[in-house]
């Protein structure tokens, strides 16, 4: 069954911006409601092919993205199979070429170090051409700067940038961050979010509820 265009392209006349969840086929990519991806260079519906790199089925690693995230053009998620093992005397991936070297085909994953899944929280903004590396968890409300390369976990409501990405600042004070973490407004029913949109837009946490 085909997906109605309005569910893929939420903005009338805009074919560069999609609700990402609606175009995902790979069961190892999980995306929450209302998360959007914009691409003015390539077809945004080709996100799996163009933006999720080296996620080979043999490794079973996952990309998990929460609700209400904003992902800018060219953001990349680079998975474990892009790595070369550092525990060997050589970085050459002998296990990949098992036929050449008469190695056990089932041990092909020995060619790289497995750092785990990529997990993106809710309400995360990932900037233009940012790169998120395997094993990274990004907390709710975080902001990833343009062309940042994220190699380590990012705490909730923290802005990071640079290569490698470093903390620039927290978006709010610790008490406000804790309140937002408890509220989890992104899990509210659509009707409740609609009722609170003005307070969310104005940053008025006291009026939420």
Q: Which of 30, 50, 54, 84 is catalytic?
A: 84
Instruction: Cite the beta strand spans of 26-165 per DSSP E.
Output: 29-31, 36-38, 52-53, 63-65, 70-71, 76-78, 118-120, 125-126, 131-133, 137-138, 143-144, 149-150, 158-161
Alpha-carbon gap, residue 83 to 95, rounded angstroms: 13
CB count within 10 Å of CB 205 equals 16
Q: Is 60 a catalytic residue?
A: no
User: Tokens representing 145?
Assistant: 């700067």
DSSP lists the bridge partners of residue 71 as 37, 126
Q: Which residues contact 44 (CB under 8 A, 6 or more apart)?
A: 15, 16, 17, 18, 23, 37, 38
Q: How far is CA 57 from CA 62, 79, 96, 163, 187, in A?
A: 10, 11, 14, 29, 30
Q: Which residues are catalytic?
A: 84
């Amino acid at each position: 069954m085909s997906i109605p265009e309005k569910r893929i392209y939420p903005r009338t006349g805009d074919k560069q911006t999609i609700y990402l969840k609606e175009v995902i086929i790979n069961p190892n990519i999980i995306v929450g409601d209302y998360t959007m991806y914009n691409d003015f260079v390539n077809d945004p519906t080709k996100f799996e092919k163009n933006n999720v790199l080296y996620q080979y089925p043999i490794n079973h690693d996952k990309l998990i993205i929460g609700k209400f995230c904003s992902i800018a053009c060219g953001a990349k998620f680079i998975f474990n199979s892009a790595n070369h093992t550092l525990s060997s005397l050589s970085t050459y991936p002998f296990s990949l070429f098992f036929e050449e070297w008469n190695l056990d085909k089932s041990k092909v994953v020995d060619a790289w170090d497995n750092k785990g899944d990529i997990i993106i929280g809710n309400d995360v903004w990932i900037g233009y051409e940012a790169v998120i590396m395997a094993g990274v968890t990004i907390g709710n409300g975080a902001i990833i700067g343009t062309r940042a390369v994220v190699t380590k976990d990012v705490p909730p409501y923290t802005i990071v940038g640079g290569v490698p990405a470093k903390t620039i600042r927290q978006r709010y004070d610790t008490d406000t961050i804790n309140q937002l973490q408890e509220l989890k407004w992104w899990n509210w029913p659509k009707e409740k979010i609609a009722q609170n949109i003005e307070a969310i837009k104005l940053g008025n946490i006291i009026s939420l509820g």
